[in-house]
Structure 1
């Protein structure tokens, strides 16, 4: 029996996209998001900073008393976990993103991709969404380890904690783009790691601002790191994000976003 003869009339369900035409904008952004996510998770150094070190820090702070913390009556794991999650957001949205973007800029990748159908807006959207996907992985891994250690987050604080993560991501991604778009790649590598260390030690992330010595207590509460740490602790320990932390994060996002928009150089 011979094969049926192909119809010369196109099917009404046939694709309407012309051969060689660019994909839909959402497909381009989705593809860039997958690429950005894989670049972070497949890089051993980035994986160390974004996942392994926060987990080791969580276990170390919960299982040892190397750092004296005033937990305000809360269990140590309940008090420490929000700060470690905040640090994880900083490591991905700021350190990892600034370094990756700076080297893409140096190597001409940003300039090339900005001229493709993806465009500058699609490229930035893919980077931000990639950060959020990696943060989701971090929350699952760190949260799983914390639960195994006995963590009991406040049930009413899960949604506010998500808001805090989004605000922190916006602020630190803006800082990352400002840094990556204005300094040489080697300078970004040094500055980003140094800033992360300084904010971790004295920025109010792991240790609340009011427990820092001297003037640091007054400075840390105004930093995006201190605001994010307070927001995460407020949400997951007390069930609500402090309004002042929201204002601080929004202020930093607006200022850093404006600076990145004005000063960012694509090549």
Structure 2
């Protein structure tokens, strides 16, 4: 009698697959010098430079009080959209994602792992930026919980936008587009220029973007000027629509 064929290996539980991929995403992120520059150094440089050189129409007595909420929003853009979009785009073009697609790791598992890695990086960013802000004289008078909630919702939306780019476009196109969008949102996201200082048409566009909505929330929460309800609606809309689009359009190759 012939021996029965061995049973095929069982796939690891979903949580274990996601956890393993999340750890790999974090290692790869921290090894990429350009990713560290974009994610950590640029927001800090913007915060320090424009806090010490008072050249912006911030409308606050101390520039750091305006800049810190905006730079926190910029940190979300860089870590949730720009960096992951570029990295994932090149992983897709070099066949890394195609090989991952042959494993038990599903498209949903991959997207969840990448989003989890983004949240870990953002936590490090927030700690660093708050420490730098305190050193520059920022007064933490509350509102951090509301600002943090807005950043969490925005992260989901920006990650979805990044994965749509990375999962549908060639790598070099993703690189160019992600950096272009980053620069546009830098100026239309209330980071260095207050949204109410923009021309009327640009202000409407800015407030409809997730960057503008997030800026409204971080500024309103940390400066205690109140958070418009429409900002939450815009942000929640992006947080729902962008991930759904990514889950539908993302391709392994």
**TM above 0.5:** yes
Which segments of 5 or more consecutive residues in structure 2 lack a partner in the other structure?
Answer: 1-6
Matched, 1:242 2:228: yes
Pairwise CA RMSD: 2.0
Distance in structure 1 (CA, Å) of the matches to 2:109 and 2:241:
22
8 Å contact from structure 2 (residues 58, 194) kept in 1: no
Q: CA deviation at 1:181?
A: 1.3
TM-score (norm 1): 0.86
Distance in structure 2 (CA, Å) of the matches to 1:262 and 1:248:
21
Q: CA deviation at 1:91?
A: 0.4
Distance in structure 1 (CA, Å) of the matches to 2:145 and 2:194:
21
Distance in structure 1 (CA, Å) of the matches to 2:28 and 2:226:
35
Distance in structure 2 (CA, Å) of the matches to 1:135 and 1:245:
21
Choose from 61, 71, 83 the match for 1:84: 71
Task: Please show how residues 28-47 of structure 1 align to structure 2 within 5 Å.
Answer: 28-47=17-36
Cα distance change on mapping 1:264 and 1:152 into 2, 3 Å: same
Matched, 1:66 2:58: no
Match of 1:264 in 2: 250
Match of 2:93 in 1: 106
In terms of mean alpha carbon deviation, does 240-249 or 100-109 score higher?
240-249
Distance in structure 2 (CA, Å) of the matches to 1:154 and 1:38:
35
Matched, 1:130 2:117: yes
8 Å contact from structure 1 (residues 204, 212) kept in 2: no
TM-score (norm 2): 0.91
State the aligned residue count.
Answer: 247
Q: CA deviation at 1:220?
A: 0.9
Match of 1:171 in 2: 157
Distance in structure 1 (CA, Å) of the matches to 2:103 and 2:8:
17
8 Å contact from structure 1 (residues 34, 130) kept in 2: yes
Q: CA deviation at 1:23?
A: 3.7
Choose from 34, 37, 43 the match for 1:54: 43
Matched, 1:213 2:202: no
Cα distance change on mapping 1:19 and 1:182 into 2, 3 Å: closer
Cα distance change on mapping 1:239 and 1:116 into 2, 3 Å: farther
Match of 1:255 in 2: 241
In terms of mean alpha carbon deviation, does 113-122 or 187-196 score higher?
113-122
8 Å contact from structure 1 (residues 205, 226) kept in 2: no
Distance in structure 1 (CA, Å) of the matches to 2:24 and 2:137:
35
Q: CA deviation at 1:20?
A: 6.0
Choose from 219, 230, 253 the match for 1:233: 219
Q: SS of the residue aligned with 1:180?
A: helix
In terms of mean alpha carbon deviation, does 92-101 or 24-33 score higher?
24-33
Cα distance change on mapping 1:247 and 1:206 into 2, 3 Å: farther
